[in-house]
Structure 1
């Protein structure tokens, strides 16, 4: 039997004991693909991150990210969590982390861990407001005229909501979500890995943005409580619309009783991050 250490952390915590998005971190992950997928299924968290390589002298690392059912090409809170662990453990203020999607720069301080990127693809979805209304079960006048596919690591559908109360009332129709993705396959960039159907709804009020992320898993719609990849995609959309040299606080997960607070900075690039809090550690046994 072999023993493998892991860390449990809350990423994007608001400072409360149960705020943030839970993450399992395996710092010495010499596993094959099947084992990593099985471990992620065992933990049954939104994602589990495996640090497959770390070079302290070069300040570089490689990671793999798994949900309970698939591998992700990129995800924000596992990347932030892995960077936080390595920076804290080895006394680093910066490092480069490679994901299956691309490499990002991580910067770490005791109060915040952030990643920086400026690589993304964006295009309007070929759909209409009636379809978007059916998708969200919200009146057309509560929605922006267009939704956008954005990929700064993971392809997601982004849609602006015009009213805070409407954002809270949104319910996603899975069939409509699948149809929009299926009807836009020429626009969707999949990075060669399994694509998840994901919708990111957002409402902006000055420098605060309230968001919700819906995704399909095992044929049902679930909601994430803190989504770094979608925050990066939102930053890409805002940059593409000439919103630059701004900083935002992203509020997510409050009505799920799991408040997350994400930092989004736009300065001729996209900076995304937040606070991380360790909540546990242990050993995982394999035969």
Structure 2
């Protein structure tokens, strides 16, 4: 029976026990889809990644991302964490990871001695927005009142740079007391077949370029996420798209209410094919192990 090695690490932090945990199977050749899904469920983390040879030898690797109940076309902290792990294994320079949503470019951050410390990724798609979401629906899902939703910049909206999220600005007090209502999520998701069974809600409160955020996706097994790179990259792109500026950078804190503080650095800029975003942060290695299937 084959044995597969894995590592775990915390992403969007510079120290252990913060940020968002991730498991990476560094050589998943020979695994079936069912085995990948079972391993992701067993790890019980927001996501687990599986590294495979690239379809195009010009790229670094093909990466599949699974959460507890399904596969993701793209996600931020798995892309950053997998890039970091590959860099620790000797991959030099910028990396290119093949994912369902497209090619993800990864630039590795290194310390003075050249050791990897984290990474920055470019989201695989330009921003698209597809629907405004009723305030009452968002408020019910988040366990807050409709008056807690801030609409000066935008109403709640469905947007994506590779994987869709519902983005809603709320007051700082509402952000602190928000708690997902699973029954409300089920009702809302039932009315949105376009979300393919993944109703993911990012709430944020903004103070200039500093943002506090929380992300809830309880129907996908993530009651609350400590750090959501893809959602915050989408948010950065949305804010630039609604502003008069050509580019902007944001510092985003997430996971504080969970006891897993995370810091995400997100940027967005206007390009000929739309608004493009990046997101980055530090990584802290945790465990190594293997499993025999």
Same fold judged by TM-score > 0.5?
A: yes
- Distance across 2 between alignment mates of 1:28 and 1:5: 7
* Conservation of the 8 A alpha-carbon contact between 2:9 and 2:284: yes
Q: How many residues align?
A: 276
Deviates more, 1:132-141 or 1:21-30: 132-141
Give the structure 1 partner of residue 209 of structure 2.
Answer: 207
Give the conservation status (yes or no) of the 8 Å contact 2:46–2:222: no
Distance 1:109 1:54 in 2: 23
**How far apart, in 2, do the equivalents of 1:39 and 1:264 lie?**
30
Does residue 62 (structure 1) correspond to residue 62 (structure 2)? The answer is yes
Q: Is the 8 A contact 1:238 1:244 kept in 2?
A: no
1:162-199 residue CA offsets vs partner (Å, 9 max, x unmatched): x21210111222333344444444xx4x5xxx531111
Which residue does the alignment assign to 1:149? 158
Report deviation, 1:154: 1.2
CA distance in 2, matches of 1:210, 1:11: 17
Contact 2:15 2:284 (8 Å CA) reproduced: no
Structure 1 residue 55 displacement after superposition: 8.5
* 8 Å contact kept, 2:240–2:268: yes
1:246 and 2:252 correspond: no
Contact 1:126 1:183 in 2 (8 A): no
> Which contiguous aligned blocks of 4+ residues in structure 1 show a shift greater than 6 angstroms?
none
TM-score by length of 2: 0.86
SS of aligned partner of 1:90: coil
Matched-pair contact (CA < 8 Å) for 1:253–1:260: yes
Q: Which whole-Å CA distance do the structure 1 matches of 2:157 and 2:280 have between them?
A: 23
Aligned partner of 1:236 in structure 2 is 237
Q: In the alignment, is the contact (CA less than 8 A) between 1:56 and 1:90 conserved in 2?
A: no
Separation (CA, whole Å) in 1 of partners of 2:246 and 2:256: 27
Structure 1: give runs of 5+ residues left out of the alignment: none
Say whether 1:34 aligns with 2:34: yes
Q: CA RMSD in A?
A: 2.2
Q: Does 1:113 align with 2:119?
A: yes
Aligned-residue offset at 1:63:
0.5
Structure 2 unaligned spans of 5+: 111-116, 271-275
Work out whether residues 137 and 171 of structure 1, in 8 Å CA contact, stay in contact via their aligned partners in 2. Answer: yes
User: Are 2:236 and 2:249, in contact at CA under 8 Å, matched by a contact in 1?
Assistant: no
SS at match of 1:267: strand
Change in 2 beyond 3 A, CA 1:240/1:233: same
In structure 2, the residue matched to 1:175 is 183
CA change 1:221–1:261 in 2 (3 A) is: closer
